[in-house]
Amino acid sequence: MKRYGLIAGAAGMLMITGCGGESAGGNSDSDLMHSHISGPTASGWYPLSTLMTDIWMDDIEGANITVVEGGAIGNIRDVNQGTEMLTGMAFASDFADAIEGRGSFEGDPQENIKGLAVLYPTLWNFAVLDSSPYETIEDALENGADIIPGEANDASSQTAERVFEAMGYTTEDIEANGGSVTYNGYGDANNQMRDGGIDMVVQGGSPYVTGLSELDTTNPVRPLPIPEDALQELDEAGYGYNVEMSIPAGSYSNLEEDVPTVSTMAMVVVNEDMDEETVYELTKSLWENLERFQDEQPNRGDYFDPELGYHGLVDPDENMHPGAKRYYEEIGVVE
């Protein structure tokens, strides 16, 4: 059954052996000699990107694709620059901000970036250990919680800031209440929460976060619900969040009820100047291996659908790479 939601896309970069010119398949070698920029190793993006690039290397003769760590907003900037990273993971809401020069890209529109595919919803986990005394996000913000919302100026920390503001709190308010907001990657943040150094993390998953799931096996974790009035305010603010989805019961060992939260769509982005034939082959390879994503990454792959892959992008006729669009036209997604 098809499932639709917000999708944030991921973009990938390729490396192949060889020195310029055209390969046998008509692809530009220089376009393939790049890396795919993903998320932190403890995020869901990293194993997904590893699978995706493995599939590309299996299908595209001579491809030698590497996955490097990154972060949603920084990935867009790196792929837009188009020096080392030509493809990568991103969120569709951040992509929309980037091309319009708003939000984290205020006054700095990213003019050299296109979409390849919108993939699946990422749900934001505002998580504490199950042993934590905090029952709600408000409890944590009012009573001195130490929080790591991800890396500074990335999608995790931006989402956390917007949620806190929708609840009436700024970073200064949190600090005045005896708490703190510091920034770090998912893996280090989870280690600090496990060891009692911090109280809460904010991380994205589908529906759970890989690193939090690993932590949950020895130190059960518990995502906290975002209040209904804050969800409504976030929806009305036009950030591109989906406020209708919840982290489902059973996502973590002691989670017995669904937890309301915000979600965004994951997607793959590519540099606009990337060779059209190369992008066509990447797009075709992704969708013709749908069963591998469903078998090996079911929590994400079960959402994959080429119709959403195209139409989930803001103004796809304008913002989808021509190589990707050609494939969607071939399979009848684009009239």
Omega prior to 207 cis, within 30 of 0: yes
Per the structure, the complete domain to which residue 183 belongs is given by: 123-263
> How far is the C-alpha of 200 from the C-alpha of 187, rounded, in Å?
13
Shared-domain flag, residues 58 and 149: no
Task: Return the minimum-mean-pLDDT range out of 54-68, 113-127, 129-143, 307-321.
Answer: 54-68
**Distance (Å) of CA 164 to CA 71, 199, 204, 227, 318:** 21, 16, 16, 11, 34
2 occurs within a structural domain: no
Given a cut of 60, is residue 5 above it in pLDDT?
A: no
Output the CA–CA distances (angstroms, integers) from residue 78 to 30, 69, 167, in the order listed: 17, 12, 33
Average pLDDT over residues 12-39: 53
Residues 210 and 154 in one domain: yes
> Angle 143-144-148 (CA atoms, 0-180°, nearest 5)?
125
Residue 63 located in a structural domain: yes
User: Looking at 224, 244, 263, which one is the last position of a domain?
Assistant: 263
pLDDT band of 153, cuts 50, 70, 90: confident
Residue 69 belongs to a domain: yes
**Structural domain includes residue 15:** yes
pLDDT tens for 57-85 read 999 887 888 999 998 999 999 999 998 89
Do residue 192 and residue 89 come from a single domain? no
pLDDT higher than 70, residue 198 = yes
**Cβ neighbours around 111 below 10 Å, total:** 10
Q: Final residue of a domain: which of 211, 244, 263? A: 263
Output the domain CATH number for residue 110.
Answer: 3.40.190.10
The pTM for the full model equals 0.76
pLDDT digit string, tens, across residues 159-171 = 999 999 999 999 9
Residue 127 lies in a domain: yes
Instruction: Go through the chain and tell me how many residues it has.
Output: 335
Q: How many domains does the chain have?
A: 2
Q: Identify whether the C-beta of residue 272 lies closer than 8 Å to the C-beta of residue 116.
A: no
Q: Are residues 107 and 239 in the same domain?
A: no
Same domain, 247 and 130: yes
pLDDT tens readout for residues 244-262: 999 999 999 999 999 999 9
Do 52 and 148 fall into the same domain?
no
Residue 40 covered by a domain = yes
- What is the rounded radius of gyration, in angstroms, for the C-alpha atoms of the chain? 20
Residues 220 and 294 in one domain: no
207 and 170, same structural domain? yes
Q: Does any domain span residue 81?
A: yes
Same domain, 216 and 254: yes
Instruction: State whether 70 and 175 are in the same domain.
Output: no
Same domain, 138 and 233: yes
Assess whether 66 and 16 both reside in one domain.
yes
Q: Final residue of a domain: which of 208, 241, 263? A: 263
- In the chain, the N- to C-terminal Cα span, in Å, equals 23
Q: What percent of the chain has pLDDT over 90?
A: 77
- For residue 3, being part of any structural domain is answered with no
